Amino acid sequence: MQQNIKKAVIPCAGLGTRFLPATKAMAKEMLPIVDIPTLQYQIKEAIDAGLEEIILIISDAKEEIKKHFSRDENFENYLIEKGKQEEANLIKQLSTMAKITYVVQKEQKGLGHAILCCKEVIKDEPFVVILGDDLIINEKGDNVSKQMIDIYREKHCPIIGCQNVKESEVSKYGIMSLKGKMENRIGYLLDMVEKPKLEEAPSHLACLGRYLLTSDIFKILENTKPGKGGEIQLTDAIKSWCKYQDVIVYDFIGRRYDVGDKYGYVEAVIDFALKRDDMKEKVLNHIKEILSKKE
C-alpha cells in the first residue's frame, strides 16, 4: 500500500565552513535573502507542497532557529504598542506557519548521519529532504518538492533531485550516471561519484538539494561507513541503495541558488531584491550606476 507523504526533513546542523565568519555563531540557513531567512523559504516550500510536519535538524549551538520559529508575545505587544501592527502579525505568523519538530544532531558527522538522526521521528513513512542551504524557486508552476511528490505517487520509488551543472562546477557535487537515457526529465540511477574531477565525472548531472526517501534509507545509513571528509555521506548510502532498488533521478524545474556558498548567496539576494516592488527600482538604478562608472 502506498503511503501518503506528510513529512519534510530540513537539515540545518552543518558547520557552514564555506560561509565563515558569518556562520561562527549563526546557522547558514538563517542568512537572510534581503529580510527573510533562507530557512523560511524552505519551510514555505514544504507547506506549499502539502507537507504537514517539518522536522528541522539542528545542532546544539544554533538555538536561534528555535527562537525564530517560536512565539514571542512580549515582542509582539511591544510592536503593537509602537503602532507596528503589520510587523507584529509578521512575527506571530512565524510561530504558526507549520508544525515543527526539532531533532538535534549532536556531532556534525555529515548529511547521511543527520538524516539518520530522524529515524525515530520518521518511523516508516516516506519523506522529503530539503537541504537548508539550497534555495530552489519555480515561479511558473509547482515547487520542486511538489514536483517530486507527484512523481513518487506515480512511480513509488525514491527520488533524487538533479540538474546539469557547468563543467567548472562538476567537482563540487555528487555526479550521477544513469541506466539508459533520461525521458521526460526522469532517469534511473546507476552510480554516483562524490565531487569528482571533471575528467573523471560520468556526466554533468549533479545531485542538488532535494530528495524523496523512504524509511529503507535508515538501515542503509546504519551500515554506511564514513566516506569523503570522514563524514557519513547520504550519496554513499543512495549509491548502494540503487544496486537493488530503482532510484529515480529527476531533472527538476526551477532556478537553484547555493546559498551556502558566498557567490550563490549574493546571486540570490540580488535576484530576490530585483523581484520586489519595494526594491526593484532602487537596486536596478544602483547596478546601472556601477556599470556606467565601469564603461
By beta-carbon proximity to ligand UTP, the closer residue of 174 and 254 is 174
Indicate the pairing of strand 186-194 with strand 174-183. antiparallel
| Beta carbon of residue 212, minimum distance to ligand UTP (angstroms, whole number) | 16
Closest Cα to residue 158, out of 236, 232, 245, 221? 245
The span of 128-136, 149-157, 273-281, 282-290 binding ligand UTP (CB under 6 A) equals: 128-136
| Beta carbon of residue 219, minimum distance to ligand UTP (angstroms, whole number) | 20
Applying CB under 6 A, among 6, 44, 84, 109 the residue interacting with ligand UTP is 109
Site of grid cell 549509491: 239
The DSSP code for 126 is -
By beta-carbon proximity to ligand UTP, the closer residue of 105 and 214 is 105
Indicate the pairing of strand 186-194 with strand 205-213. unpaired
- Cα pseudo-dihedral 4, 5, 6, 12, rounded to 10: 160
Binding-residue total with ligand UTP (CB under 6 A)? 21
Report how far apart, in Å, the C-alpha atoms of 65 and of each of 157, 214, 231 are.
32, 26, 24
The span of 16-24, 46-54, 151-159, 284-292 binding ligand UTP (CB under 6 A) equals: 16-24
The span of 8-16, 30-38, 179-187, 239-247 binding ligand UTP (CB under 6 A) equals: 8-16
The span of 43-51, 69-77, 102-110, 272-280 binding ligand UTP (CB under 6 A) equals: 102-110
Q: What phi, psi does 189 have (nearest 5°)?
A: -70, 130
Closest Cα to residue 39, out of 98, 114, 111? 98
| Beta carbon of residue 18, minimum distance to ligand UTP (angstroms, whole number) | 3
What is the grid cell recorded at 259? 546559498
Q: E strand or H helix at 209, and its extent?
A: strand 205-213
What is the grid cell recorded at 155? 512511480
129-168 footprint of ligand UTP as x/- string (CB under 6 A): --xxx-----------------------------------
256-295 footprint of ligand UTP as x/- string (CB under 6 A): ----x-----------------------------------
By beta-carbon proximity to ligand UTP, the closer residue of 76 and 134 is 134
The span of 68-76, 111-119, 181-189, 283-291 binding ligand UTP (CB under 6 A) equals: 111-119
According to the binding rule CB under 6 A, does residue 56 interact with ligand UTP? no
According to the binding rule CB under 6 A, does residue 18 interact with ligand UTP? yes
Burial grade of 137 (CB within 10 A; 0-12, 13-18, 19 or more) = middle
Applying CB under 6 A, among 95, 108, 138, 215 the residue interacting with ligand UTP is 108
DSSP 31-83: -EETTEEHHHHHHHHHHHTT--EEEEEE-TT-THHHHHTS--HHHHHHHHHTT
Please state, as a whole number, how many other Cβ atoms lie within 10 Å of the Cβ of residue 176: 26
| Beta carbon of residue 229, minimum distance to ligand UTP (angstroms, whole number) | 8
Residue nearest to ligand UTP (CB): 14
Interface positions with ligand UTP (CB under 6 A): 11-19, 57, 105, 108-111, 113-114, 131-133, 260
